[in-house]
């Protein structure tokens, strides 16, 4: 409550200043008698911890003219930043309803009200206001940026593409990465409907929008695998890894499936061994363990993983090593390993596997768009330096 009092005190001061100026301009005692009690009534509401009533009084006292519009806008913006969206909406709606506004002032008030609606989750109302600003050709860039956020939230990817195209001409910088992901999202929708032809066409557009992206290549590889073309799928997966080696852990399952169908797992093992060390995710070593287990035996897999854990120890690697050793005939050792396994599983379950490189948002699954900062392709699988033991 104390914070709110300090927030409203400047408004009370502005109201008092405005009344003093009015009374000096009008040499009218009767006017003073009318307005002064209202001002003190507002202060009384404020001191009695009735901020809503105080707001009403001060907003009425601050008649909207060229000198007080900024005060209204600043007050509404402060309330929105504090999370008191309903109060911000009331102030901005009251401002827009006044006939004394210039076109520029009205546009600024519309922008602020649209941002209020967005904060409140009223996306339809916010969208209408931003579209109105676009038609007015005022605050167009800010309106388009907010529209893009709304369409992404609503998963209206076609509108995202149209808005991004308009925005690119204003910001003078490419939005190619975002547009590539919009095409990928449309391709995902087409695949869910079983329309692989449309999906393939959209993925080509995604690659054309941003040639450095790995997501469309991975999706193309999965489509090729669904057709039984493992050779094409494998080439696409390798191409994705060439573009961004950090993406390798995400395609390991598809790599395994491709080579399993082609009975060429030893060839994949040789390929993956080239990525061991140098900070590469432990998932690569664990994939090799799976291959050795399938093509050779558990003893060889245990020896390989034990050697890897001595060089690059991690919790995930330790957990897998426990699983392999739990199959040993020594009952006592097996029981001890099973006990250790449960503790390691608990530690892993409590730790997020992914993190946004831009804002630090942590998650347990891969998000193409960060839910926190809304950046595309910034969430990566976390490495495990904190898990390494000397």
Q: How far is CA 262 from CA 123, 147, 206, 231, in A?
A: 50, 48, 29, 9
Distance CA 197, CA 343 (A): 47
Q: Which residues contact 223 (CB under 8 A, 6 or more apart)?
A: 191, 196, 199, 200, 203
The helix or strand, by DSSP H or E, that contains position 186, with its residue range, turns out to be: helix 176-192
User: How high is the mean pLDDT of the chain?
Assistant: 83
* 51, two tokens: 């901020």
Fold observed for domain 2-150: 1.25.40
Express each pLDDT in 101-151 by its tens digit.
Answer: 889 989 999 999 999 999 999 999 999 999 999 999 999 999 999 999 999
Q: Using CB atoms within 10 Å of the CB of residue 246, give its burial: 0 to 12 exposed, 13 to 18 middle, 19+ buried.
A: middle
Q: Where are the beta strands (DSSP E) in the chain?
A: 354-356, 362-363, 379-381
Distance CA 321, CA 341 (A): 9
Binding residues for Fe cation: 356, 359, 370, 373
Phi, psi dihedral angles at 330 (to 5 degrees): -65, 110
Confidence band, pLDDT 50/70/90 cuts, at residue 63: low
pLDDT at 252: 96
Mean pLDDT in residue range 276-280: 73
Query: Using an 8 Å Cβ cutoff, are 324 and 302 in contact?
Result: yes
Q: Which residue would you say has higher pLDDT here, 71 or 13? A: 71
Indicate if the pLDDT at residue 29 is higher than 50: no
Give the pTM: 0.77
Binding residues: 356, 359, 370, 373
Domain spans of the chain, in order of start: 2-150, 351-390
Q: Which residue would you say has higher pLDDT here, 37 or 332? A: 37
């Amino acid at each position: 409550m104390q914070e709110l009092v300090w927030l409203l005190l400047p408004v009370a001061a502005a109201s008092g200043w405005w009344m003093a100026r009015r009374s000096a301009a009008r040499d009218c005692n009767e006017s003073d008698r009318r307005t002064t009690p209202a001002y003190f009534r507002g202060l009384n509401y404020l001191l009695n911890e009735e901020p809503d009533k105080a707001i009403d009084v001060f907003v009425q006292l601050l008649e909207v003219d060229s000198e007080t519009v900024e005060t209204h806008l600043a007050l509404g913006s402060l309330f929105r930043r504090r999370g008191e969206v309903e109060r911000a909406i009331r102030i901005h709606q009251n401002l827009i309803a006044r006939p004394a506004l210039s076109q520029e002032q009205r546009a600024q008030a519309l922008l602020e009200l649209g941002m209020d609606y967005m904060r409140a989750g009223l996306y339809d109302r916010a969208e209408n206001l931003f579209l109105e600003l676009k038609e007015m050709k005022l605050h167009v860039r800010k309106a388009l940026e907010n529209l893009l956020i709304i369409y992404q939230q609503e998963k209206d990817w076609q509108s995202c593409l149209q808005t991004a195209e308009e925005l690119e001409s204003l910001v003078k910088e490419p939005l190619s990465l975002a547009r590539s992901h919009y095409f990928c999202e449309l391709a995902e929708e087409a695949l869910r409907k079983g329309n692989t032809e449309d999906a393939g066409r959209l993925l080509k557009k995604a690659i054309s929008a941003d040639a450095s992206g790995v997501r469309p290549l991975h999706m193309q590889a999965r489509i090729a695998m669904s057709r039984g073309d493992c050779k094409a799928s494998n080439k696409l997966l390798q191409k994705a890894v060439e573009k961004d080696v950090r993406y390798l852990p995400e395609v390991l399952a598809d790599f395994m499936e491709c080579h399993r169908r082609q009975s060429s797992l030893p060839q994949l093992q040789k390929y993956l061994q080239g990525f061991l060390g140098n900070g590469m995710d432990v998932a690569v070593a664990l994939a090799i363990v799976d291959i050795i287990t399938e093509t050779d035996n558990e003893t060889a897999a245990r020896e390989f993983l034990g050697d890897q854990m001595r060089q690059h120890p991690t919790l995930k690697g330790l957990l897998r090593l426990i699983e392999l050793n739990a199959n040993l005939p020594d009952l006592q050792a097996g029981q001890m390993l099973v006990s250790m396994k449960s503790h390691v599983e608990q530690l892993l379950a409590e730790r997020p596997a992914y993190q946004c490189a831009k804002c630090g948002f942590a998650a347990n699954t891969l998000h193409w768009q960060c839910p926190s900062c809304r950046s595309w392709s910034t969430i990566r699988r976390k490495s495990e330096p904190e898990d390494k033991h000397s």
